[in-house]
Amino acid sequence: MTVGHGEPACGYEGDRILDGAISTYERGLLENLARRLPLWTKPDQLTVLGVVGSGLAAVGLIASHVSLMFLWLALLGLFLNWVGDSLDGTLARVRRIERPRYGFFVDHASDIASQFLLVLGLGISPLMRFDVALLALLGYLALSTYTYIKLHVTRSIQLTYFGIGPTEIRVLIGAGLLLAMYVDLPWMATSIGSIGLFDAVGMLLFVFALASGMAMFVRDAKQLALLDPARRVAPTEVRVTGIAPQIATGLAAPEAVSRAAL
């Protein structure tokens, strides 16, 4: 979910806030990989690879109804999604071929497609309830909306929240898939139906998305209030100026009528 095809996003000279627990250390790796890619590799190709990877992950997740070994296919798709989604913007910056407006548009549109495919695969798979998968997607879309609002106001794009970002989520899903292949995941009967490990994590991510979004809103609103303080203007006499005489007469008419009534 890096801003593909180069920065600044949307043509703004802004900052990228990417301080995840893992993503902080992957920057150097991504830049080294980008420098070693063949010259015929283009950012658009990597963006397509990211979406194809999500589709492959969805197929593997759905096919796990037949055999859990299909989760290896899902892991491969998840890896390809990381490669394509993380390297498209990095490659553009390393080669200095940024296309800020086009890149921002294509990258974030492809992000939405990738997330829908991944959530669809998880929701149809035997690992996660469909309603809980949609709840997790709702949390993601809520944070995405806040990210775009903040980008417009502050010219900075928030890619991670309290140490968690796209890379960390992929690692979490990948670890869960590995666990599901070799261990019987626990399920618990509740008043809203059976809940598995993936469901519990999905609910926690939804709560985290809402809580972190509200926390960031309060923090950012305080900072913006200092930069853009409220204006206190003392009441002054209102004078009608710069308008046609007939309009001014019309505005004064009600006052004249009320005085006549007295």
Q: How many structural domains are present in the chain?
A: 1
Residue 234's pLDDT band, with cuts at 50, 70 and 90, is low
Enclosing domain of residue 101: 9-227
Domain contains 254:
no
Chain centre distance of CA 205: 13
Domain contains 43:
yes
Domain contains 131:
yes
By the 10 Å C-beta count (0-12 exposed, 13-18 middle, 19+ buried), 223 is classed as exposed
Domain contains 249:
no
- Find the mean pLDDT for residues 120-133: 95
Domain contains 81:
yes
Q: Looking at residue 62, which CATH number applies to its domain? A: 1.20.120.1760
What is the per-residue pLDDT across 17-59, written as a single tens digit (0 to 9) for each?
Answer: 767 778 767 888 899 999 999 999 999 999 999 999 999 999 9
Percentage above 90 pLDDT, the chain: 56
Count of beta carbons in the 10 Å neighbourhood of residue 43:
27
- Find the mean pLDDT for residues 115-119: 95
Helix (H) or strand (E) holding 195: strand 193-196
What is the per-residue pLDDT across 145-157, written as a single tens digit (0 to 9) for each?
Answer: 998 898 888 888 8
Domain contains 221:
yes
Bond preceding residue 245 cis, omega within 30 of 0: no
The full length of the chain comes to 262
pTM: 0.79
